[in-house]
Amino acid sequence: MTDDLTRLPASTLRDYIATRKVSPVELMKAVLARVEKLQPVLNCFITLVPEKAMQAAREAEDAVMQGRPLGLLHGIPYAAKDLVNTAGVRTTFGSRLYEQNVPKEDAVATARMKQAGAILFGKTTTPEFGHKALTDAPLFGRTRNAWSAERTCGGSSGGAAAAVAAGIGPIGIATDGGGSTRIPAAANGLVGLKQNLGTIPHSQAPDAFGNYTYVTPMTRTVMDTALMMQAMAGPHPSDPWSLGATPQDYLAAAGTSGDLRGKKILYSATFGNKAVAKDVRTAFERALGRLRELGAELIELTDAVPDMEAVWKVINHTTWRARFDDMIRRDGERMSPSLVRQVAMAMDWTGADYQRAMFQRAEIFRLVQRWFEHADFLVMPTLSRTALPIDQDLFEPINIDGVEVGELRRNWFPYTMAFNITGHPALTLCCGYDGDGLPIGLQFVGRFRDDASVLQAAALYEASESWLARWPDL
């Protein structure tokens, strides 16, 4: 029964808990047993809090037995990426410099999960301060992909993805600053949503007004993503982008009735990229065929796509320089060399360079807005190839179908960065597997402030396929 419980989605578990078919205590024991078994294999946690989790599970069970009102996620175990503040639970940001840091307050997202009845049992791995799409750091070592020990789990929310993919908790909190939820979700066969800017308040963003980073759900199913959205979304005084944003009915949107008739989908297999793996192209074309069967009209995107990575890099790296330069001057020898090197890249950029990148950010937003004047969704692959080798270096070129194509960021995930800087909702989910049995991701992008439509389209696609029946062989 233990393994059976760890394969159930949160949407099923919440119903089972409410109807007393499953005890929150029994569920938490199953999750903690699985983490004990698989943490040595995957290395996807920095901190575990089993005693606190079991106490919360006992309290959740008491509430059920006493017939008290239950929250949306009552008794559901979850883990949070170690960039997200959790009151009273160590939050290291993947850094030796914060190894003993214990926040006094929850981030808004974690506070709302707690209010909904979800139970935190651990903090998942992240590269130091979430600075790359590979999950390793001097603090904890390297995290492996749930589908292959020889592959990276992606990043920077790699621990969250590996844990959920392995059945160590049905849901997790992640973050996304350039693809950091969608990259590991695609590499591990999960649903990863970077919601619209402001939908889920980001109370830790240093620059609230120029923000391009997001606190996000990480799940196996679209409905579980909708549950987390329903719990975490809504205005909060800490985030100006959230003010005036009205939450949608995400649960209704993630239902599977209806079709895509009348919907227009712009699609691109490359989105300005030069190389795409054959297996990714094949899976993408198959997914397009499925969307056509669901009733959608497909239109290829033929417009030239700007160099998103160049704009994102100036905005991102200058932000990192402002945040970490003093830290590096004091303690750089204790920090990740790849973070130190990227901050150094920003040394020659001026305030005017940053502002010009922000001007380009606005231009890209307006370009995407024009695309949505004639379409309901953009659809593209999430990654140009499946999970990279476990020892891949951030600055070394990647290989696609036996050909060296260039450095990692520009060539592996050019599809994701654009929507961090425009703010549009973007969701990845599994659309097949390559010849080695590794998951392939499909990305849906929707209109500004319309997360619900993205969930709806993704849920219809998910229901039309059988990819959820596959689990990694651990």
Reported as type and span, the H/E element at residue 361 is helix 351-371
pLDDT at 2 over 90: no
- Residue range 66-78: average pLDDT? 98
Residues 6 or more apart whose CB falls under 8 angstroms from that of 208 comprise 202, 238, 239, 240, 241
- Can you tell me the distance from the alpha carbon of 85 to that of 89, in angstroms, rounded to the nearest whole number? 8
- The active-site residue, picked from 23, 180, 242, 268, is 180
pLDDT at 241: 98
Whether 156 is catalytic is yes
- Can you tell me the distance from the alpha carbon of 144 to that of 148, in angstroms, rounded to the nearest whole number? 7
CATH number for the domain formed by residue range(s) 2-314+337-469: 3.90.1300.10
pLDDT in tens, 156-179: 999 999 999 999 999 999 999 999
pLDDT at 92: 98
Burial degree of 37 (CB within 10 A; 0-12, 13-18, 19+) = middle
Taking a C-beta distance cutoff of 8 angstroms, is the pair 17, 75 a contact? yes
Taking a C-beta distance cutoff of 8 angstroms, is the pair 205, 211 a contact? yes
Side chain identity at residue 73, one-letter code? L
pLDDT at 68: 97
Give the largest CA-CA distance in the chain: 63
DSSP result, 254-308: T---S--TT-EEEE-SSTT-S---HHHHHHHHHHHHHHHHTTPEEEE--SPPP-H
pTM: 0.98
Work out whether strand 214-219 and strand 191-194 pair parallel, antiparallel, or are unpaired.
antiparallel
413 phi and psi, to 5 degrees?
-135, 55
pLDDT at 94 over 70: yes
- Residue range 20-30: average pLDDT? 98
Residues 6 or more apart whose CB falls under 8 angstroms from that of 378 comprise 265, 266, 267, 268, 301, 368, 371, 372, 444, 445
31 three-class SS: helix
- The active-site residue, picked from 11, 23, 81, 203, is 81
pLDDT in tens, 315-340: 999 999 999 999 999 999 999 999 99
Whether 23 is catalytic is no
Q: Whole-number mean pLDDT of the chain?
A: 97
pLDDT at 3: 60
- Residue range 416-441: average pLDDT? 98
- Can you tell me the distance from the alpha carbon of 74 to that of 453, in angstroms, rounded to the nearest whole number? 26
Beta bridge partners of 353: none
Beta bridge partners of 80: 123, 173
User: Encoding tokens for residue 436?
Assistant: 């080695």
pLDDT at 294: 98
- The active-site residue, picked from 11, 23, 95, 156, is 156
Residues 6 or more apart whose CB falls under 8 angstroms from that of 234 comprise 112, 201, 242, 245, 247
- Can you tell me the distance from the alpha carbon of 307 to that of 114, in angstroms, rounded to the nearest whole number? 40
Task: Tell me which residue of 446, 458, 457 sits closest to 422, measured CA to CA.
Answer: 446
- Residue range 360-374: average pLDDT? 98
Confidence of residue 419 (pLDDT cuts 50, 70, 90): very high
- Can you tell me the distance from the alpha carbon of 56 to that of 182, in angstroms, rounded to the nearest whole number? 30
Residues 6 or more apart whose CB falls under 8 angstroms from that of 212 comprise 177, 178, 197, 312, 315, 316, 420, 421, 423
Whether 180 is catalytic is yes
pLDDT at 1 over 80: no
pLDDT at 260 over 60: yes
13 phi and psi, to 5 degrees?
-60, -40
Confidence of residue 364 (pLDDT cuts 50, 70, 90): very high
Residue 77: how many other CB atoms lie within 10 Å = 29
pLDDT in tens, 102-143: 999 999 999 999 999 999 999 999 999 999 999 999 999 999
